């Protein structure tokens, strides 16, 4: 999707105008019958988008009101109106659309964002992909600065990249291919990617990543993504860590097939979010040094798979009693978080589809957060979550939860039982950190069974826009 700014009005196939009061439509020179039609439609909130045929072009007039809505709720409402507009545009196979606001210019940004995100399609495996394509190729924004349009293009591309990765099946997206996709994006967008192969991972003694990989026929990878702009405002890097389990059967603690394992190609949603965010940050040339770490493997019950009862020596030398091989994400993240110590980070944020407990707790409506970073960092991330409507719910992180992870034969066990499952997973990870750190469990919103406005069925790319806004705030 190409998104660009326009200095002045251009003739396009279709034009979307946002308004809040009928009098704002005077500049459009509507006829009496057109104005009457719009006024009648505007009385019903469900019919707040009026389409006027100005053959060969169409006008789409979108009435919105911010009354009784918080800022972030109004912005989200505009995004949702953008999806409605997209569906109408797609029915006409529109190729180019312009978006303007007759009230606050910034309104056009959020509507265009929803339009762009709602226009995503994953058609790679259809034999008639050309026929299925909706046709929309370009969005032209009026009244928005070039900088903001560049950001919208970058974040849209980043979300698309993350969604593509999550939607790819294991038959294509192995751990090796995930690293290759990150490398391709790095070359295209301007960040470096170093990929460690299995031999290097063995040399580093990343026991958690190697243990999870033992049942697989495909080797693991550990990718380091580095974006270092010349004008970086930070000396110590922000480090982003993404769980890269490209498929999770549960290992020998096998998942049920129906409704559980069948969507587990999405278990690398955290890795996809980090890769997508790095892409967006580099494309927009944000002046902040950021490093991404992606431990990647699939989790299968192969001939030499690790088993419940095994004791694994991790990268940092500590030992873990494995009581459930389906708690594999924390095993590979632990090695990556321990590795992050050598990077001397200002802050580390990890993203992972880590626990069903997080999804049960707050559903698809937000992201579970916890960690050891100061409240200022958490508040800043919370603000970014509100700005892009990927809201975070901060869970308690009391020391007492550590008691649930005590092992009788090793330093720690990898599960803590049913109580506080999302939190004990976080407390497990905490053991491998010695720096300010935030853990984001994105299990609820990372992969959807059906469309939720512009968050479409399949991979949503959750985390990309929030991380981008957070890094932008650091600049």
Q: Where are the alpha helices (DSSP H) in 205-350?
A: 207-213, 269-283, 329-339
Cβ contact 340:348 at 8 Å:
yes
Separation of alpha carbons 253 and 456, rounded Å: 30
Residue of 79, 189, 214, 330 with catalytic role: 330
Q: Which helix (H) or strand (E) covers residue 295, if one does?
A: strand 290-299
Cβ contact 367:463 at 8 Å:
yes
Known active-site residue 255: yes
Q: Which helix (H) or strand (E) covers residue 299, if one does?
A: strand 290-299
Chain centroid to CA 275: 9
Name the burial class of residue 95, with classes exposed (0-12), middle (13-18) and buried (19+) by CB atoms within 10 angstroms of its CB: middle
- Point out the annotated binding site for Mn(2+): 243, 248, 267, 326, 328
- Point out the annotated binding site: 243, 248, 267, 326, 328
Pairing of the two strands 138-142 and 96-101: parallel
Tokens 């603690």 belong to which residue? Answer: 253
- For residue 202, give the nearest of 292, 329, 342, 313 by alpha carbon: 313
Separation of alpha carbons 187 and 178, rounded Å: 15
What is the signed CA dihedral for 173, 179, 185, 188, rounded to 10 degrees? -130
Q: Cis peptide leading into 291, omega within 30 of 0?
A: no
Residue of 148, 255, 341, 380 with catalytic role: 255
The encoded tokens of residue 245 equal 């389990």
Cβ contact 361:422 at 8 Å:
yes
Q: Which helix (H) or strand (E) covers residue 87, if one does?
A: helix 71-91
Q: Compute the radius of gyration of the chain from its Cα atoms.
A: 24
Concatenating the DSSP letter of every residue in 27-80 gives GG---HHHHHHHHHHHTSGGG-EEEEEETTEEEEEEE---TT--HHHHHHHHHH
Catalytic sites, residue numbers:
255, 330
């Amino acid at each position: 999707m190409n998104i660009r700014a326009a200095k002045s009005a251009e003739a396009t196939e279709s034009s979307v105008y946002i308004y809040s009061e009928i009098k704002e439509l005077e500049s459009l020179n509507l006829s009496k019958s057109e104005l009457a039609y719009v006024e009648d439609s505007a009385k019903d909130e469900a019919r707040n988008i009026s389409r006027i045929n100005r053959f060969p072009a169409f006008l789409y007039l979108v009435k919105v009101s911010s009354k009784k809505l918080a800022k972030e709720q109004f912005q989200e409402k505009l995004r949702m109106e953008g999806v409605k507009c997209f569906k109408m545009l797609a029915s006409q196979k529109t190729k180019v659309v312009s978006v303007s606001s007759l009230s606050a210019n910034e309104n056009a940004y959020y509507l265009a964002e929803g339009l762009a995100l709602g226009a995503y399609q994953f058609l790679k495996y259809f034999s008639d992909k050309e026929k299925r394509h909706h046709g929309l190729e370009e969005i032209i924004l009026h009244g928005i600065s070039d900088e903001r349009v560049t950001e919208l293009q970058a974040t849209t591309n980043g979300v698309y990249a993350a969604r593509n990765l999550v939607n790819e099946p294991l038959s294509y997206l192995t751990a090796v291919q995930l690293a290759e996709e990150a490398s391709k994006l790095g070359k295209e967008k301007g960040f470096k990617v170093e990929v460690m192969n299995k031999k290097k991972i063995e040399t580093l003694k990343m026991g958690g990543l190697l243990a999870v990989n033992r049942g697989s026929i495909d080797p693991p990878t550990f990718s380091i993504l580095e974006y270092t702009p010349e004008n970086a405002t930070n000396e110590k890097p922000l480090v982003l860590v993404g769980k890269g389990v490209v498929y999770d059967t549960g290992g020998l603690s096998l998942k049920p097939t129906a409704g559980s394992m069948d969507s587990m190609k999405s278990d690398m949603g955290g890795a996809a979010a980090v890769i997508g965010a790095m892409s967006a940050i580099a494309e927009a040339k944000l002046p902040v040094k950021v490093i991404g770490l992606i431990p990647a493997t699939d989790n299968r019950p192969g001939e030499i798979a690790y088993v419940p009862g095994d004791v694994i020596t991790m990268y940092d030398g500590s030992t873990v009693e494995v009581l459930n091989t389906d708690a594999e994400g924390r095993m590979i993240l632990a090695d990556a978080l321990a590795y992050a110590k050598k990077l001397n980070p200002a802050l580390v944020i990890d993203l992972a589809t880590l626990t069903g407990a997080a999804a049960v707790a707050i559903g698809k409506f937000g992201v579970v957060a916890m960690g050891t970073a100061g409240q200022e960092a958490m508040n800043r991330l919370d603000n970014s979550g509100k700005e892009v409507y990927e809201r975070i719910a901060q869970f308690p992180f009391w020391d007492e939860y550590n008691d649930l992870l005590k092992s009788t034969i090793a330093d720690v066990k990898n599960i803590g039982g049913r109580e506080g499952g999302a939190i004990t997973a976080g407390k497990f990870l905490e053991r491998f950190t010695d720096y300010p750190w935030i853990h984001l469990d994105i299990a609820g919103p990372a992969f959807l069974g059906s469309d939720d406005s512009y968050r479409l069925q399949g991979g949503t790319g959750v985390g990309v826009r929030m991380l981008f806004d957070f890094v932008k705030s650091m600049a």
